[in-house]
Chains A and B, each alone.
Chain A
Amino acid sequence: KQEVTQIPAALSVPEGENLVLNCSFTDSAIYNLQWFRQDPGKGLTSLLLIQSSQREQTSGRLNASLDKSSGRSTLYIAASQPGDSATYLCAVRNTGNQFYFGTGTSLTVIP
């Protein structure tokens, strides 16, 4: 069974700092990996999707990398802003049809 871990569980940084969120998974036979953002009491918003054949994806201040062989992905957020405060979740899609989620990293950006 795929296990997805996100460390740290919570992170607090001053505004303007660059930061890295980590995601690790136990089974490298994945189809893709997706990063989400979840605001309190809300649904999940997709940030970036990396296919298993890709190494990274970028969107604005966000950059996600994937090292499938080591079972790791990172989400890099540049020049953090208070509006980035949220919980960030990663999910891996196995070569079957199921997605497995980590428990998330709660990010607080202090003005």
Chain B
Amino acid sequence: NAGVTQTPKFRVLKTGQSMTLLCAQDMNHEYMYWYRQDPGMGLRLIHYSVGEGTTAKGEVPDGYNVSRLKKQNFLLGLESAAPSQTSVYFCASSSYPGTSYNEQFFGPGTRLTVL
């Protein structure tokens, strides 16, 4: 049981390049989330998904796209990276709110630098 995993762990991009971050969970969770963490800003929600084939915008969605083609995977894409997207990105998953213990589980993070 690996929990939540993220690929890659580190990445350096040049402005304008694109990339995809992969999140995978093996807990059969319905809900998945992408956050970014910046100094002094805390964690902010980028996009989330409440089930396979669904996505929704969070607090800071601009410049990012997501897809949830399979229940266990949630992809975060940057089409044209900007220096303002330099951050640590975390993926999380949780069960449906109606379940008895619907805590969030986090992946180890991806440290992204955009030059």
Chain A residues close to B by CB (< 8 Å): 4, 31-32, 34, 36, 42-46, 49, 89, 91, 93, 97-104
Contacts and interface: CB of A to CB of B under 8 A. Distances in A.
B43 interface: yes
Nearest to B102: A32
A102 B104 contact: no
B56 interface: yes
Interface of chain A: mostly helix, strand, loop or mixed: strand
Interface residues of B, number: 26
A78 B104 CA distance: 24
A49 B106 contact: no
Contacts of B56: 97
Nearest to A34: B103
Contact of A49 (B41, B103, B109): B103
Contact of B40 (A43, A101, A103): A103
B3 to A, nearest CB: 10
Contacts of B77: none
